[in-house]
Chain A
Amino acid sequence: MSWWKSILPKRASDAQMDSELRFHIEELTDENIAAGMTPEEARRSAMLEFGGRERFKEEVRDVYRIRILDAAVANLKSAFRFIQKSPTFSITVILTLALAIGANSAVFSAIDAILLRPLPFPDADQLMRVDQYNPKTSSPLHLVAPVRLEDWNRLNSTFQALTGYYSEDVSESTGPLPERITRAWVSPRFLEVWAVSPMLGREFTPDEETLHGPAAALISDGFWRRRFNADPNIVGRNLRLDGHLTPIVGVMPPSFSFPDRETDLWCPVPAGLSYGPARLNNWFTVIGRLQPGVTLAQARANLATVQAQLGRQFPKTDGELSVGVEPLKETTIGDSRRSLWLLFGSVTLLLFIACINVVALLLSRSAQRQHEISVRFSLGAPRGALIVQLLTETFLLALIGSGLGLFLAAAASGIFRSLAAQLPRVEEIHLDARIVLYSLACSVVVTLLSGLVPAIRGTRRNLSASLAQSGRSQVSGRNPLQWLLVGIQVALAVTLLAGAGLLLRSFQQLGRVSPGFDPTHILTFQLSMNWGETGDMKKLRQFTDSILETLRATPGVEAEAISVGVPGVPFRYQTELKLMEGRADTEPKIVAENRFVSASYFATMRIPLLAGEVCRETDGPPTVVVNRAFANAYFPGAPVLGHHVQSMNLGYSGAAEIIGISGDARETGLDHLPVPTAYWCAPIAEPGTYFLVRTRNAPMTMAETIRRQIHDTEPQRSVYDFAPLEQHFSDALAEGRLRTILLTFFAATALSLACIGLYGTLSYSVNVRQREVGLRLALGALRGQIIRQFLWQGLAVCILGCLAGWALAWVSTRLMAGLLYGVSPNDVPTLSAVIFLVLAVAAIASLIPAIRAARVEPMHVLRDE
């Protein structure tokens, strides 16, 4: 036989079938002739006996035809009947799976939207975030000077275009009240880089992109709908932005929300515009679009060459700079990746636990169905068909479960948004065909994981044969597979609980941290300002003073200050400082976090002054206060005060005298130890400056009063972002809270599922062994002994499960090392508490069936014999 025949399905061909039947007819004809018929008669009789040849062939063909559709329909029908017949069982399975598949799909929808999908721009994988940084300082300054951006654009050969932008708040005053809106200043080629066109109106003209050219603004879809009710004739209308009339030239499509969804409008900045020394004035965030086919490595190499060339040309400003190129998607996602995968891992463990639960349920179910199955065997059903039928039942349950789970997945975007509004791309999470397909795939996997073993075990021939004979089951109380499953469930639950416990402990530790300042009763807010105002520092100084005076005069305000950045909220502005008095090359370079604060900052935040004095708010030479970490790191055992420092990146700020040493405060985040910090005395507010007010009562109760007071002195400005300082902390920790809450929820669900599994298995064991228990009670066993025995049966498995879970947790919590604060991944108290909790809950889950076992009435059970 040639090889291909063995691959093709074995199917009798029509010709073969014909010749087989022809042979039969010829033999019959011979037989008839032998019996004395004439050949014609014999042949006719043979044909007659044979009947319709075609009908035969059809019947023979039927043998080969796999009637998939018929079989599937029949299986589905019987699966529906099965669900109707056992509602409690079905509902338990469906709800378990709905929860597990739903939670899994919900987390997957977040992963899909945030990590897997490209950013919502054409050919988004070509988009790169490009930074300039000084490799000598540990935390780079990412902003780029506009002239340098123009140089890069001119000299590179790997990018289609590079563009920069800067966002600030601006007051729009064509309405009845000034409204604070967010404006992005964008350099030329902005729309070219995004490859997005306005949905209404036009792009900026080259005229509008030159210095002193006509003003123009593109507005966002959101602003257009909110403010202008989606007026189709909006193009040409004027806005009054900080007093300047600016015509609207177009409306961007709703999908375009860069730099963020807060952005209301985009205005052009002339190429290379600068407010200070051009090569030191870094204020653009730069995005570039790679040319097609260019790799990341090529782009990095190319820009490195370009920057080296600039370094030779401008050694003073560009000599030490490097260029960083990262895919925009990576910088957008940031650190959320780890949290999301952690959540996905735990929700997948949860799905496993749910599957194991369903396996246990199906196993005990198939024990009850052995009679039905053996009847079907004796009626000639092949085993494969029975397995397929059992799997169809499981699949139907999983399908209904995943359908219900989609409701949970649909709620995912709401859940994620309410738990962590700061999560990047959170607005892109939504239910779509991909998520539906994913949960469908989940239900197939669940069917195979949880249905296959029970279906194969349930249809074992010898089992069904033996059971067909004895109606009275003498099933052993030991069913190792079921207990193994309970053990695995407990182990997985312990692992999840350990993860959740560690995150909870981290949060608890964070709550106990002493930040080095007093965050209670502090109200923060901002005023609309723009960079144009920084041209007249004197006026700005007067403005700042008048606001601070207004605040001071407000009853209920104890202290007031300004600061760029909010203390305790991640914000890094690290630069290298040059010591004017000189420093040996052998000593470490001075790298410090920079904060720009008013003199009142220390009193307002209650940061103690350890030596010297606080900032002098005079027009004299600039002054700086350093913290103790700074003094200890760079002047160990030596006097600090009186030295002069200058920031390498803030070259135009001049040298400042160190006049004070303050206590250490956790400026860069509650979960970060205090770093060497320089507080520059800057009593002048800039765009982005925060006003900090220490209030006598609850901070938010003062918000309206302060808003009114400031409106009286500065009617053109909008006051916004009122929030207690502690609210900022909570926002900064939102992602941590998201993973903690969700993981705790998953772990609690896992524990309940494991306990339901334990309870179910032990109950089953009790039911099966009722007669044995009855007999033993009749022979004088004490009820306490029976309880102890069953309790121990359950707990022993749990203890083994806990041990396995401990080992699993020991290995897997290491993955969380970067997400924890103040607690080691293998924290013994946490793990012990988890195991104690699991054993306590398991004891309760075992006690109920154990007590029921002891309540067996011997006479009752034995009479049933």
Chain B
Amino acid sequence: MPIEKSDLLQGTLDMLILKIVALGPVHGYGISLRIRQISREVLHVQQGSLYPALHRLEKRGWLQAEWGASDKGRQAKFYKLSLKGQKQLESEESNWNRLSGAVANIMQTAQ
């Protein structure tokens, strides 16, 4: 069953976006597509959360935006990771790993 935005913590969505963008410059549509594909259709990001999140990350200086042509030649806004965003992603990743590892440990031990 797909997980909707409300089930995702805001911080987690930010981290996912940063992670996707880290793979290379990408537009909003591309990000929602990749999250769906990589999570094997488990995570569906609503556009209503995606775009505010993108703009928020841009405002914080973690993302940089540039207009360019898409594969099909349409004008699209491409996002890429800034140096600051790179650092932020690293720290969030390590936090996430600790947290998920800890949760997993508990779940396994308590079984």
Residues of A within 8 A of B (CB): 10, 12, 16, 19-21, 23-24, 26-28, 30, 49-51, 55-56, 59-60, 62-64, 380
Question: For chain B, which range describes its interface: under 10, 10 to 19, 20 to 34, or 35 or more residues?
Answer: 20 to 34
CB distance from A115 to the nearest CB of B (A): 49
Residue among A12, A27, A49, A64 with max Cβ neighbours from chain B (10 Å)? A27
Q: Choose from B11, B56, B77 the contact partner of A16 (Cβ within 8 Å).
A: B77
User: Are B47 and A56 closer than 8 Å at their CB atoms?
Assistant: yes
Q: How far is the CA of A854 from the CA of B46 in the complex (A)?
A: 64
Residues of chain B contacted by A16 (CB below 8 angstroms): 77
Residue among B32, B47, B58 with max Cβ neighbours from chain A (10 Å)? B47
Q: Choose from B27, B48, B72, B76 the contact partner of A55 (Cβ within 8 Å).
A: B48
Instruction: Answer yes or no: B25 CB below 8 A from chain A CBs.
Output: no
User: Are A51 and B56 closer than 8 Å at their CB atoms?
Assistant: no
Q: Choose from B27, B32, B52, B55 the contact partner of A23 (Cβ within 8 Å).
A: B27
User: Are B29 and A23 closer than 8 Å at their CB atoms?
Assistant: yes
User: Are B48 and A24 closer than 8 Å at their CB atoms?
Assistant: no
User: Are A20 and B59 closer than 8 Å at their CB atoms?
Assistant: no
A60 with B55: in contact, given A23-B74, A23-B76, A51-B48 (CB under 8 Å)? yes
Q: Choose from A19, A21, A26, A28 the contact partner of B51 (Cβ within 8 Å).
A: A21
CB distance from A60 to the nearest CB of B (A): 5
User: Are A27 and B77 closer than 8 Å at their CB atoms?
Assistant: no
Q: Choose from A20, A63, A380 the contact partner of B76 (Cβ within 8 Å).
A: A20
CB distance from B28 to the nearest CB of A (A): 6
A27 with B51: in contact, given A20-B76, A63-B56, A63-B59 (CB under 8 Å)? no
CB distance from A465 to the nearest CB of B (A): 10
User: Are A20 and B10 closer than 8 Å at their CB atoms?
Assistant: no
Hey, what's the 0/1 contact readout for B18-39 against A, CB within 8 Å counting as 1?
Answer: 0000000001110010000000
User: Are A60 and B52 closer than 8 Å at their CB atoms?
Assistant: yes
A63 with B55: in contact, given A23-B27, A23-B29, A30-B72 (CB under 8 Å)? yes
Q: How far is the CA of A60 from the CA of B55 in the complex (A)?
A: 7
User: Are B77 and A49 closer than 8 Å at their CB atoms?
Assistant: no
CB distance from B108 to the nearest CB of A (A): 23
Residues of chain A contacted by B6 (CB below 8 angstroms): none
Q: How far is the CA of A24 from the CA of B27 in the complex (A)?
A: 9
Residues of chain A contacted by B46 (CB below 8 angstroms): 51
Shortest Cβ distance from B52 into A: residue:
A59
A23 with B77: in contact, given A30-B72, A60-B52 (CB under 8 Å)? yes
Residues of chain B contacted by A51 (CB below 8 angstroms): 46-48
Shortest Cβ distance from B49 into A: residue:
A59
Q: Choose from B47, B55, B56, B59 the contact partner of A24 (Cβ within 8 Å).
A: B47
Shortest Cβ distance from B55 into A: residue:
A63
Q: Choose from B51, B70, B76 the contact partner of A60 (Cβ within 8 Å).
A: B51
CB distance from A54 to the nearest CB of B (A): 12
Q: Choose from B32, B48, B52, B77 the contact partner of A63 (Cβ within 8 Å).
A: B52
Q: How far is the CA of A782 from the CA of B28 in the complex (A)?
A: 71
User: Are A24 and B29 closer than 8 Å at their CB atoms?
Assistant: yes
Q: How far is the CA of A27 from the CA of B56 in the complex (A)?
A: 23
15 A-B Cβ contacts within 8 A? A10-B59, A16-B77, A21-B47, A23-B27, A23-B29, A23-B74, A26-B74, A27-B70, A27-B74, A28-B29, A30-B72, A49-B47, A59-B48, A60-B52, A380-B10
Instruction: Answer yes or no: B75 CB below 8 A from chain A CBs.
Output: yes
User: Are A20 and B77 closer than 8 Å at their CB atoms?
Assistant: yes
Q: How far is the CA of A780 from the CA of B56 in the complex (A)?
A: 60
CB distance from B24 to the nearest CB of A (A): 17
Q: How far is the CA of A159 from the CA of B13 in the complex (A)?
A: 80
Residue among A19, A24, A55, A64 with max Cβ neighbours from chain B (10 Å)? A24
Shortest Cβ distance from B57 into A: residue:
A63
Name the interface residues of B40-76: CB closer than 8 Å to any CB of A.
Answer: 46-48, 51-52, 55-56, 58-59, 70, 72, 74-76
Interface of A is mostly: helix
Residues of chain B contacted by A63 (CB below 8 angstroms): 52, 55-56, 59
CB distance from B37 to the nearest CB of A (A): 12
User: Are B47 and A50 closer than 8 Å at their CB atoms?
Assistant: yes
Residues of chain B contacted by A30 (CB below 8 angstroms): 72
User: Are A56 and B72 closer than 8 Å at their CB atoms?
Assistant: no
User: Are A20 and B28 closer than 8 Å at their CB atoms?
Assistant: yes
Q: How far is the CA of A51 from the CA of B47 in the complex (A)?
A: 8
Residues of chain B contacted by A19 (CB below 8 angstroms): 75, 77
Q: How far is the CA of A19 from the CA of B28 in the complex (A)?
A: 12
Q: How far is the CA of A617 from the CA of B47 in the complex (A)?
A: 113
Q: How far is the CA of A63 from the CA of B29 in the complex (A)?
A: 19
Residue among A55, A59, A63, A64 with max Cβ neighbours from chain B (10 Å)? A63
Residues of chain A contacted by B10 (CB below 8 angstroms): 380
Residues of chain A contacted by B72 (CB below 8 angstroms): 30
User: Are A27 and B52 closer than 8 Å at their CB atoms?
Assistant: no
Residues of chain B contacted by A21 (CB below 8 angstroms): 47, 51
User: Are A23 and B75 closer than 8 Å at their CB atoms?
Assistant: yes
CB distance from A446 to the nearest CB of B (A): 32
Q: How far is the CA of A16 from the CA of B77 in the complex (A)?
A: 9
For the complex of A and B, list the 10 residue pairs with the smallest distance between their C-beta atoms, beginning with the closest. A27-B29, A63-B55, A24-B29, A23-B76, A20-B77, A59-B52, A63-B56, A60-B55, A60-B51, A60-B52
Q: Choose from A12, A49, A380 the contact partner of B55 (Cβ within 8 Å).
A: A12
Q: How far is the CA of A27 from the CA of B55 in the complex (A)?
A: 20
Name the interface residues of B64-108: CB closer than 8 Å to any CB of A.
Answer: 70, 72, 74-77
Q: How far is the CA of A62 from the CA of B48 in the complex (A)?
A: 13
Q: How far is the CA of A30 from the CA of B56 in the complex (A)?
A: 28
Contacts A20-B27, A30-B72, A51-B48 aside, 5 further interface pairs with beta carbons under 8 A come to: A20-B28, A20-B76, A23-B74, A23-B75, A27-B29
Shortest Cβ distance from A16 into B: residue:
B77
Residues of chain B contacted by A24 (CB below 8 angstroms): 27-29, 32, 47
User: Are B11 and A56 closer than 8 Å at their CB atoms?
Assistant: no
A23 with B48: in contact, given A16-B77, A63-B55 (CB under 8 Å)? no
Residues of chain B contacted by A55 (CB below 8 angstroms): 48
Shortest Cβ distance from B59 into A: residue:
A63
CB distance from A491 to the nearest CB of B (A): 42
Q: How far is the CA of A845 from the CA of B35 in the complex (A)?
A: 64
Residues of chain A contacted by B29 (CB below 8 angstroms): 23-24, 27-28
User: Are A20 and B51 closer than 8 Å at their CB atoms?
Assistant: yes
Q: How far is the CA of A27 from the CA of B11 in the complex (A)?
A: 27
Q: How far is the CA of A230 from the CA of B28 in the complex (A)?
A: 83
Q: How far is the CA of A751 from the CA of B52 in the complex (A)?
A: 56
Q: How far is the CA of A10 from the CA of B46 in the complex (A)?
A: 25
User: Are A64 and B74 closer than 8 Å at their CB atoms?
Assistant: no
Q: How far is the CA of A62 from the CA of B28 in the complex (A)?
A: 18
Shortest Cβ distance from B28 into A: residue:
A24
Q: How far is the CA of A50 from the CA of B45 in the complex (A)?
A: 11
Residues of chain B contacted by A20 (CB below 8 angstroms): 27-28, 51, 76-77
CB distance from A66 to the nearest CB of B (A): 10
Residues of chain B contacted by A23 (CB below 8 angstroms): 27-29, 70, 74-77
CB distance from B52 to the nearest CB of A (A): 5
Residues of chain A contacted by B56 (CB below 8 angstroms): 63
Residues of chain B contacted by A27 (CB below 8 angstroms): 29, 70, 74
User: Are B11 and A380 closer than 8 Å at their CB atoms?
Assistant: yes
User: Are B75 and A56 closer than 8 Å at their CB atoms?
Assistant: no
Residues of chain A contacted by B47 (CB below 8 angstroms): 21, 24, 49-51, 56
Q: How far is the CA of A26 from the CA of B29 in the complex (A)?
A: 10
Shortest Cβ distance from B46 into A: residue:
A51
Q: How far is the CA of A55 from the CA of B48 in the complex (A)?
A: 8
Residue among B11, B52, B72, B75 with max Cβ neighbours from chain A (10 Å)? B52
Residues of chain B contacted by A59 (CB below 8 angstroms): 48, 51-52
Q: How far is the CA of A110 from the CA of B75 in the complex (A)?
A: 68
Shortest Cβ distance from B71 into A: residue:
A27
Q: How far is the CA of A675 from the CA of B74 in the complex (A)?
A: 101
CB distance from B82 to the nearest CB of A (A): 13
Residues of chain B contacted by A62 (CB below 8 angstroms): 52
Residues of chain A contacted by B58 (CB below 8 angstroms): 10
Q: How far is the CA of A26 from the CA of B73 in the complex (A)?
A: 12
Q: How far is the CA of A51 from the CA of B77 in the complex (A)?
A: 20
Q: Choose from B32, B55, B77 the contact partner of A64 (Cβ within 8 Å).
A: B55
